[in-house]
Amino acid sequence: MGERTLTRMDLSEAVFREVGLSRNESAQLVESVLGHVSDALVAGETVKISSFGTFSVRAKGQRVGRNPKTGEEVPISPRRVLSFRPSHLMKDRVAAGNKG
Amino acid sequence: MIRSELIQKIADENPNLSHRDAERIVNTVFEEIIDAMSRGDRVELRGFGAFSVKKRDARTGRNPRTGDSVPVESKHVPFFKTGKLLRDRLNGKE
């Protein structure tokens, strides 16, 4: 497990193989896909990709945290966090592929 | 936003591509990520986030209806960590 780390390059290589555009265009399209997902999330939308998963934005209220080194209490400001919920298909394929 | 809307956006801004191509591009991106994780690989998309696989140890679960203990085998689950740039953008820091 943890054999390899894929990057944007690997995704654009896959688009290049699959669609037959230039490497440059493929890289730009991968960027556009990630850009549109990011923009929708920043706008507060939920992004639901069927058979992949759902990205949603949750608002968290202010809370009191602690500096683990000094034990000092510090306020943590309210913030928006992203959560990803994998689809059943993704969970099943990841579980099946990494068995044993 | 759902998958078909994302495909439409890609098709709209690339008039040189057929709708079918836009569909294949979007599907390939997500398919590659699932493929990588099912091989145990990690996918790191700087600024967006990273998809990885985590191992969940075997545990004793319980049937919530009957309260019986049932053994749950160890398994691998997908995990996503938001990238710094996207996390900052969500909080108004561009």
**B53 vs A33, A49, A94: nearest CB:** A94
Q: Which pLDDT value is given to residue B93?
A: 77
Q: Tokens 């230039």 map to which residue? A: A22
Q: Which pLDDT value is given to residue A64?
A: 92
CB contact under 8 A, B42 and A4: yes
What ipTM does the predicted assembly reach? 0.91
What 3-state DSSP class applies to A39? helix
**A97 vs B33, B40, B91: nearest CB:** B40
Q: What is the pTM of this model?
A: 0.90
CB contact under 8 A, B76 and A8: no
- Beta-carbon contacts below 8 Å between A and B: 163
CB contact under 8 A, A52 and B33: yes
- Is-contact B32 B51, C-beta < 8 A? no
Q: Which pLDDT value is given to residue A100?
A: 67
Q: How far is CA A9 from the centre of its chain?
A: 16
Set of chain A residues whose Cβ sits within 8 Å of the Cβ of B38: 93-94, 96-98
Query: How many beta carbons lie within 10 A of that of residue B90, not counting itself?
Result: 20
CB contact under 8 A, A32 and B30: no
Going residue by residue through chain B, which has 94 residues, state the pLDDT in tens, using 9 for 90 and above: 999 999 999 999 999 999 999 999 999 999 999 999 999 999 999 999 999 999 999 999 999 999 899 999 999 999 999 999 999 999 987 6
DSSP per-residue string spanning B9-75:
HHHHH-TTS-HHHHHHHHHHHHHHHHHHHHTT-EEEETTTEEEEEEEE--EEEE-TTT--EEEE--E
